């Protein structure tokens, strides 16, 4: 049921949920952050982006693709006993985009070795964190910080690693390639859904894209940071 719930959240919020029950990677305690994250970010920042949108994302169904622009708003939520949590929102200014797609959110947990998608720890009752029927990640962060609990360390939530990683989670296949300069993340579903992220050392997230089905809809962002 939890897997199904997170899948629904993904299609509503355009984030790719993963199974929070499975193999776990244990991390050493550290407040240091991944070298692939933005440097010295302990406050709010804004970065402009340009990109493309296609398919059902567009308001005008006669268009095949359209350029977009907007801002990546980065907010520092705070530190946990291990690592720090950030909220990244891609806010599109282009009026060609359907209203429900103009804001994309990615909440991440950054540790020394990994950048994770922020998700509840294993066996956590997510019903405690529902606000008007929606999973409230900020409320989850406050709860974890207060109770000194770490988020999920399941490997299927890793978005960037200091080492190359490959894994399969049901119909999802994910590959992470890391070197001294970049860390690339690519996750694909056998139905055609995908998500791709490029991190650069000292610059953080520089590219982000996602798509549904066989090119039916999607967006891509290139961040100027």
Series of mean pLDDT values for 10-residue runs along the chain (225 residues)? 37 38 36 68 83 92 90 94 94 90 95 93 87 88 95 94 90 93 94 94 92 85 92
Task: Give the H or E element holding residue 10.
Answer: helix 2-13
Q: Tokens standing for 214? A: 């066989």
Beta bridge pairs of residue 218: 54, 211
Pairing of strands 103-110, 84-92: antiparallel
Q: Tokens standing for 52? A: 């493309």
Give the per-residue pLDDT at 132: 82
Q: Tokens standing for 95? A: 């009026």
Give the per-residue pLDDT at 68: 95
Give the per-residue pLDDT at 42: 58
Considering Cα of 199, then 200, then 202, then 204, what sign does the dihedral take? Answer: negative
171 contact partners, CB below 8 Å, separation of at least 6:
189, 190, 191
Give the per-residue pLDDT at 33: 65
């Amino acid at each position: 049921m939890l897997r199904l719930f997170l899948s629904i959240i993904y299609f509503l919020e355009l984030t790719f949920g993963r199974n929070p029950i499975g193999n776990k990677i244990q991390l050493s305690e550290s407040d240091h952050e991944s070298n692939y994250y933005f440097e010295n970010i302990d406050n709010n920042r804004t970065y402009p982006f340009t990109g493309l949108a296609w398919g059902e994302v567009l308001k005008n169904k006669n268009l095949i693709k359209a350029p977009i622009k907007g801002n990546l708003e980065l907010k520092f939520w705070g530190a946990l006993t291990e690592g720090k949590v950030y909220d990244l929102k891609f806010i599109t200014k282009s009026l060609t985009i359907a209203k429900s797609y103009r804001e994309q959110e990615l909440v991440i947990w950054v540790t020394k070795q990994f950048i994770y998608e922020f998700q509840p720890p294993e066996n956590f009752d997510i019903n405690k964190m529902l606000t008007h029927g929606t999973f409230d990640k900020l409320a989850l962060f406050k709860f974890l910080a207060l109770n000194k609990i770490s988020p999920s360390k399941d490997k299927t939530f890793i978005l960037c690693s200091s080492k190359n990683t490959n894994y399969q989670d049901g119909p999802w296949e994910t590959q992470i390639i890391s070197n001294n300069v970049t860390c690339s993340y690519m996750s694909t579903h056998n139905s055609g859904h995908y998500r791709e992220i490029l991190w650069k050392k000292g610059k953080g997230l520089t590219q982000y894209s996602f798509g549904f089905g066989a090119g039916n809809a999607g967006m891509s962002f290139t961040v100027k940071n």
